Amino acid sequence: MEEKKKVLIVDDQNGIRVLLLEVFSSEGYRTFQASNGKLALEIVRKESPDLVLLDMKIPGMDGLEILKHIKNIDKEIKVIMMTAYGELDMIKESTELGALMHFTKPFDIDEMIAAVNSQLGRENSRISFGS
C-alpha cells in the first residue's frame, strides 16, 4: 500500500485549521497543523510534508518568511498560499519564492480540494463536486 501523502496546514485561525484538517483527512491524506511559523518548520523538518497550505498573515513569522524557510529545507515541498485579501505584492513575491498558487479567503473548499489533489497527483476525489 502506498504511503499516504502528507499535507501540512499552517494558519493562525483555529477554525480554518480544523476545517482543512477534516477535509484533507477525509480525502485520505495524513494531515498536520501548525498555528505559527516555528511549529510549521518543526513539522516540515520532522515529517517532510508533500504539500503545505500556508496562510500569508501569521503573527510572528509571516507566510513569506515561512515559505523561504520551507524551500531552504526542501525545495520539493509544494506550497499553496492562502491570503486574506488582495495582498498583491506579497502574492507576487511568494510566487517568485516558489509558491504554486493562491487562494483568497474565504476560499471555495471544493476548489481547494481539487487543487491539492491535482498537485499531489490524485485526480479523483472521494468528495463529489457540485452536489
Asked, for residue 48, whether it belongs to a domain, the answer is yes
pLDDT in tens, 86-107: 677 888 999 999 999 999 988 9
Q: For 65-75, how does the pLDDT look when each residue is reduced to its tens digit (9 = 90+)? A: 999 999 999 99
Evaluate whether residue 130 is within a structural domain. Answer: no
Task: Provide the residue range defining the domain that includes 83.
Answer: 6-119
**Does 40 fall in a domain?**
yes
Long-range contacts, 30-35 (Cβ 8 Å, 24+): 30/4, 30/5, 30/6, 31/6, 31/7, 32/6, 32/7, 32/8, 33/8, 33/9, 34/8, 34/9, 34/10, 35/10, 35/11
Residue 129 lies in a domain: no
pLDDT tens digits, one per residue of 27-54: 999 999 999 999 999 999 999 999 999 9
Q: Say what percent of the chain tops pLDDT 90.
A: 80
Q: What is the pTM of this model?
A: 0.91
In a domain, 127, yes or no: no
The predicted pLDDT at position 1 comes to 65
Structural domain contains residue 94? yes
pLDDT confidence band for 3 (50 / 70 / 90) = confident
Has residue 86 been placed in a domain?
Answer: yes
The number of folded domains in the chain is 1
Which is more confident, 129 or 52?
Answer: 52
Q: Please determine, for residue 4, whether its predicted confidence score (pLDDT) is greater than 50.
A: yes
Strand ranges in 2-66 using DSSP code E only, listed in sequence order: 6-10, 30-34, 51-55
CATH value at residue 77: 3.40.50.2300
Domain presence at residue 125? no
